[in-house]
Amino acid sequence: MIMAARDERGASGPRAVVPTDEFRGAMDRGDVVLHYQPQVELRPMAVTGAEALIRWQHPTSGMLPPDEFLPALAHSLLMPTVTDWVVLTAARAAADWGELSVAVNISAADASRHGLVEAVRSALETTGLPAHRLILEVTEHALVGDLDGATRNLGRLADDGVRVSLDDFGTGYSSLLYLRELPINEIKIDRVFTMGIGTNRDDDAIVAGLVKLGHAIGVRVVAEGVETVEQLSVLASLDCDAAQGFLFGRAAERLVLPSLPAPTSGAGAIPHRRRRGEAVATEGAATVIRQLLAEGASLHTIAARLNQDGVRTAQGSRWVGATVGRALSQL
Ligand code: C2E
Ligand code: CA
Ligand code: CA
């Protein structure tokens, strides 16, 4: 499948095997695409935007996720071209999204590189996307190399109104130093912590602490990898600002807006175990919902499956994501 090519730096060692030629060809042919995964604000519940995630539609190997090709490209001279393409493509897509924002991932070497600021400005100008609707996600690992350079680049873009998010928060080194040095608007709690919510008391405590830390320094806190309504309920009770994960939908070629529980005031905006009311799910529906939830299905997918199987709510109506959310809170 992926052919070896020479490292453009001509370096020797394991990193000399970089599929840059093949990847460049794939970009030219339109085989490299972005998929978009929705991000949801929790109070009141509303989609605020999406994260752009790169994929390679490989002619023989099928749709490749980034982990299968980005590590090989990360240190090649092609990486800046890839990032510039990602920023431009995502900005072009988001220009049609009304008020929604788009988040793009900036690779380690890119955060501090010469030319990043100009490329981002040019993408905004070409597409007409207002700066405040672009979020640059940088990982802590991305900052280890050249913190001064990254601080300079991100500071200039922040002055333009572009937002900066510290990705995979909690997994790198010296997180707190980055919080102090960089113009950060948001932290994204890594999904290793989200995964343990409700089952691992340490993770509950870590997430609670990260939310408090974020709010104490005035940044928004987003939890990634949210897969269950239980995780969502805990995050909402901890005052986490926003969430992203399979519960709301996987990344897709076009931004698919998830159906959300109907907005109400306060904690009722989130499906919650303690919420009372007329039962929405019959015994049969409840069994299907539990089973699909265990398989990791989103509210939207569960609703679609129930409708497809001819199962109706206890009130006799078709299912939407919001009624599945309400049913869950009553299980
Ligand atoms: P990331 O920035 O942490 O992106 C989130 C990853 O978690 C995505 O994987 C996404 O599909 C996955 N994910 C989202 N929700 C859930 C969930 O509920 N459960 C689980 N188990 N996973 C979930 P993906 O698309 O394979 O991306 C992997 C990583 O590749 C990204 O991690 C990011 O670091 C990198 N990446 C993706 N696109 C780009 C890009 O355009 N440029 C750069 N430099 N890096 C990118
Ligand atoms: Ca990210
Ligand atoms: Ca992440």
Domain contains 278: no
Looking at residue 262, its pLDDT comes to 54
236 shares its domain with 322: no
Q: Tokens for 221?
A: 């806190």
- Torsion, CA 313, CA 316, CA 322, CA 326, rounded to 10: -50
Q: Which residues does a 6 A CB cutoff place in the pocket of ligand 1? A: 37, 53-54, 65-67, 70, 86, 105, 107, 137, 167-168, 191, 224-227, 245-246, 251
Q: What's the structural domain count of the chain?
A: 2
Q: Ligand 1 atom closest to Cα of 188?
A: 3
**Separation of 293 CA from ligand 2 center, angstroms?**
24
Q: Report how far residue 279's alpha carbon sits from residue 302's, in angstroms, rounded to the nearest whole number.
A: 17
293 shares its domain with 259: no
Domain contains 115: yes
pTM: 0.79
110 shares its domain with 145: yes
Residue environment code for 248-285, b if the CB has 16+ CB neighbours within 10 A, otherwise e: bbebeeebbbbbbbeeeeeeebbbbeebeeebbbeeeb
169 shares its domain with 38: yes
Q: Which of 228, 249, 271 delimits the end of a domain?
A: 271
298 shares its domain with 249: no
**Separation of 150 CA from ligand 3 center, angstroms?**
18
Domain contains 276: no
8 shares its domain with 110: yes
Domain contains 84: yes
Domain range holding 312? Answer: 283-330
Question: Which CATH number covers residue 200?
Answer: 3.20.20.450
27 shares its domain with 113: yes
199 shares its domain with 264: yes
Looking at residue 177, its pLDDT comes to 78
Looking at residue 322, its pLDDT comes to 67
263 shares its domain with 288: no
Cα distances from 175 to residues 139, 227, 324, in angstroms, run: 10, 25, 38
176 shares its domain with 318: no
Q: Ligand 1 atom closest to Cα of 107?
A: 44
Q: Which of 271, 293, 318 delimits the end of a domain?
A: 271
Domain contains 215: yes
Relative to the alpha carbon of 188, which ligand is closest? 3
153 shares its domain with 85: yes
Domain contains 320: yes
Looking at residue 147, its pLDDT comes to 84
Q: Over the chain (331 residues), what is each successive 10-residue block's mean pLDDT?
A: 36 47 95 98 94 96 94 91 97 97 91 96 98 94 80 94 92 74 91 91 92 91 95 94 96 91 46 51 89 81 86 80 74 75
Looking at residue 7, its pLDDT comes to 35
6 shares its domain with 55: yes
Ligand 1, atom 46, residue with closest C-alpha: 105
Ligand 1, atom 42, residue with closest C-alpha: 105
CB-based burial label for 189 (10 Å; 0-12, 13-18, 19+): buried
Domain contains 171: yes
